[in-house]
């Protein structure tokens, strides 16, 4: 089995992480990148020593590679994914797959017609804590899921960094929507969401969104998220998941990561899963995810999280956004 040659599109926060992981995987080789910011492109050339192109067309015309990670802003996934699939390149698309159902469908069809793998970057599927709870729930340890609750709260600087280009349902809630579909094995049929704007008015986005979900098996869920936590908090995240079943309960609580450093003035939580540099290899959860993608391509296997999962999460996020606009419950439209 040879090494898979990969291109990374969009060398921001996630694209840089993908590039670092690919450079560290024995079965992979970072072959090229695409980045429109000239300064960032220069940094990438210097740091990774690979050619950096200004467009996907140029990448396809000039670089030799087998597969690509699309780490572009949420609204910019579709056109590059279609061009890459048409050129026969396997696709790892960061979440959300696309921000419209038509976009999701187009990517799924293009990948099917071209016979290339399509995986969506739902990181939680590769986090050992979420995976362990999934295993326990799917083996019936807590009985039938009755109620699920998820929290995904970020620091204010996280929202400022994204500057209003993305929304809470698409940036944060899609992770938990996917996790709940995966945990409970049921689809979301109806949502009712409310949001609030007090802090990020200048960005034109909600500070917090609470979404209630009804599932096809009769169970219910609640996903809450905000991105206004003070930056002086010790941890970067406050993430939780709880699954209450007919006979038990399973929980994940990631506000504390189990390791802290106090520098004499301030305490911070260190993050051993998403951002560690462990003997030069990082980050653990993303490495598992990308390694899975690389192995699926090399060994001709189907990724555990694919286009249909991406489309389902997008359908629910769109329904949440409609509910926020209307102030009413909304049925999820899957086609």
- Minimum distance between the CB of residue 185 and ligand NAD, rounded to whole angstroms? 22
Indicate the SS3 state at residue 218: coil
* CB closer to ligand NAD out of 121 and 245: 121
Among 3, 12, 105, 228, binds ligand NAD (CB under 6 A): 12
Site for ligand NAD in 96-135 (CB under 6 A): 121, 123
Q: Does 45 bind ligand NAD (CB under 6 A)?
A: no
State which residue, 110 or 186, has the beta carbon closest to ligand NAD: 110
Under the binding rule (CB under 6 A), the answer on residue 169 touching ligand NAD is: no
Question: What token pair was written down for 188?
Answer: 């979301």
| Residues facing residue 119 across a β-bridge | 92
Contact string (CB under 6 A) for ligand NAD, positions 198-237, x = contact: ----------------------------------------
Report 84-103 residues binding ligand NAD (CB under 6 A). 94-95
Element (H, E) at 204: none
Q: List the one residue from 7, 8, 14, 297 that touches ligand NAD (CB under 6 A).
A: 14
Which of 7, 8, 34, 316 binds ligand NAD (CB under 6 A)? It is 34
Question: Given the DSSP bridges, would you call strands 208-215 and 220-229 parallel, antiparallel or unpaired?
Answer: antiparallel
Query: Whole-angstrom Cα distance, residue 32 to residue 34?
Result: 7
DSSP 249-270: EEEEE-S--S-EEE-SS-EEE-
Q: Which runs of consecutive H residues, i.e. helices, occur in the chain? A: 13-24, 38-48, 56-62, 78-86, 101-114, 128-138, 156-162, 168, 174-184, 284-298, 307-326
- Shortest approach of ligand NAD to residue 144 CB, angstroms? 29
> Do 315 and 332 contact (CB within 8 A), yes or no?
yes
Q: Is 171 in the site for ligand NAD (CB under 6 A)?
A: yes
Residues that bind ligand NAD (CB under 6 A): 9-15, 34-37, 40, 71-74, 76, 94-95, 121, 123, 171
């Amino acid at each position: 089995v040879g090494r898979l040659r990969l291109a990374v599109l969009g060398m921001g926060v996630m694209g840089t992480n993908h590039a670092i992981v690919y450079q560290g995987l024995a079965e992979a080789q970072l072959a090229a990148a695409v980045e429109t910011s000239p300064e960032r492109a220069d940094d990438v050339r210097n740091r990774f020593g690979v050619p950096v192109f200004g467009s996907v067309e140029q990448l396809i015309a000039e670089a030799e590679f087998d597969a690509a990670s699309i780490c572009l802003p949420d609204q910019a996934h579709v056109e590059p994914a279609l061009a890459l699939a048409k050129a026969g390149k396997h696709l790892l698309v960061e979440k959300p797959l696309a921000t419209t159902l038509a976009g999701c469908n187009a990517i799924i069809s293009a990948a099917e017609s071209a016979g290339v793998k399509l995986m969506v970057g739902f990181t939680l599927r590769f986090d050992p804590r979420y995976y362990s709870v999934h295993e326990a729930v799917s083996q019936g340890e807590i009985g039938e899921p009755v109620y699920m609750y998820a929290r995904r709260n970020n620091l204010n600087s996280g929202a400022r960094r994204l500057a209003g280009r993305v929304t809470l349902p698409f940036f944060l809630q899609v992770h938990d929507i996917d996790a709940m579909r995966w945990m409970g094995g049921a689809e979301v049929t109806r949502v009712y969401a409310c949001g609030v704007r007090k802090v990020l008015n200048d960005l034109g986005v909600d500070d917090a969104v609470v979404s209630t979900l009804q599932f096809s098996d009769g169970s219910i869920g609640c996903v809450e998220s905000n991105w206004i936590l003070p930056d002086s908090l010790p941890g970067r995240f406050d993430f939780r998941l709880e699954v209450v079943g007919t006979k038990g309960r399973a929980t994940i609580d990631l506000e504390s990561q189990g390791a802290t450093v106090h520098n004499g003035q301030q305490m911070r939580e260190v993050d051993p899963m998403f951002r560690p540099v462990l003997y030069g290899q990082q980050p653990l959860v993303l490495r598992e995810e990308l390694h899975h993608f690389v192995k699926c391509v090399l060994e001709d296997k189907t990724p555990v999280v694919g286009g249909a999962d991406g489309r389902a999460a997008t359908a629910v996020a769109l329904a949440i956004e409609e509910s926020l606009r209307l102030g009413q419950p909304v049925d999820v439209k899957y086609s």
